[in-house]
Amino acid sequence: MAEPRELAEGPQPDLWAAASRAPAPKPHYLGHRDRLRDRAAAALDALPDYELLELHLFRAIPRGDVKPLAKALIARFGSLAAVLAASQAELKTVSGVGESVARDLKLLHQTALRVGREAVGKRTVITSWSQLLAYVKLVLAHEPREQFRVLFLDKKNQLIADELMNRGTVDHAPVYPREVMRRALELSASAVILVHNHPSGDPTPSGADIQMTREVVDAGRPLRITVHDHLVVGREGVASFRSLGLF
């Protein structure tokens, strides 16, 4: 029977050290950014909202996986539009959103607002009604507080200015008909369109909305300033007083 061989002299290999030198597993998201960019280049309009948001987050967060953050933002606010409409303070309540991310998202929102305003401003409101509705929804549909805005129009029904006249609570923004007409005279406006939002999401006009509109119409009549319409904006759509036959 053969004798057992003795162990070789000298240092033995450290199996734990060898294991520690083994390559770490690659992150599951490795290459995701490049793949997403490739898909965007092929069909940008086919990407879901969270991936569009991911692409934008790449700017402020140059490394790492931002898919969870994009999904968390949409889950927190309910939609991509609501994410962009949120204030910087609200955005920063989401884990992973710092000053630069919040500022970058607000930059995107402001850009969208200006593009929408330009599309409305270059044509008469009557012929760009669909763009107008899209614009007021972008501005107001996701506002957490009620706002009262006025679109001031010239004799050709082109937009002179879109101004916030008052900001209120979750269900009320005070309106002063004389202030609306005073500003219309300052801008040499011939007509106005009243716009406010219902943070509840339901755009159905209230009794107070109807009464206030009549007061503004009455204030403008002796000044020959026409109230073309009053639009109430909610997440569920836009209600037009004129279409509803309310004045």
Token pair for 210: 């109807």
Look at residue 112 in the predicted model and tell me its pLDDT. 85
Q: Is the pLDDT of residue 192 over 70?
A: yes
Pair 129, 225: CB distance under 8 Å: no
Nearest to 57 by CA among 79, 33, 86: 33
Token pair for 188: 């040499």
Q: Is the pLDDT of residue 17 over 60?
A: no
Reported as a single tens digit per residue, the pLDDT across 124-139 is 766 678 888 988 998 8
Q: Measure CA 180 to chain center.
A: 27
Which residue blocks in 78-194 are alpha helix, DSSP H? 80-85, 88-91, 99-121, 129-140, 177-186
User: Out of 14-18, 84-88, 224-228, which region has the weakest mean confidence (pLDDT)?
Assistant: 14-18
Token pair for 126: 């009557």
Token pair for 38: 């490739």
Which residue blocks in 141-233 are alpha helix, DSSP H? 177-186, 207-220
Reported as a single tens digit per residue, the pLDDT across 19-74 is 556 565 556 556 788 888 888 888 888 899 999 999 989 888 888 889 999 999 99
Classified as helix, coil or strand, 13 is: coil
Question: Which tops the pLDDT comparison, 79 or 11?
Answer: 79
CA-CA distance, 32 to 12, in Å (whole number)? 42
Question: Which tops the pLDDT comparison, 43 or 228?
Answer: 228
Reported as a single tens digit per residue, the pLDDT across 195-225 is 999 999 999 999 999 999 999 999 999 999 9
Look at residue 51 in the predicted model and tell me its pLDDT. 92
Classified as helix, coil or strand, 93 is: coil
Look at residue 39 in the predicted model and tell me its pLDDT. 87
| DSSP structure string for 65-84 | --HHHHHHHHHHHSSHHHHH
Mean pLDDT of the chain: 85
Reported as a single tens digit per residue, the pLDDT across 74-102 is 999 988 988 998 889 999 999 999 999 99
Pair 158, 187: CB distance under 8 Å: no
Reported as a single tens digit per residue, the pLDDT across 165-182 is 988 765 666 788 999 999
Q: Is the pLDDT of residue 234 over 90?
A: yes
Look at residue 209 in the predicted model and tell me its pLDDT. 93
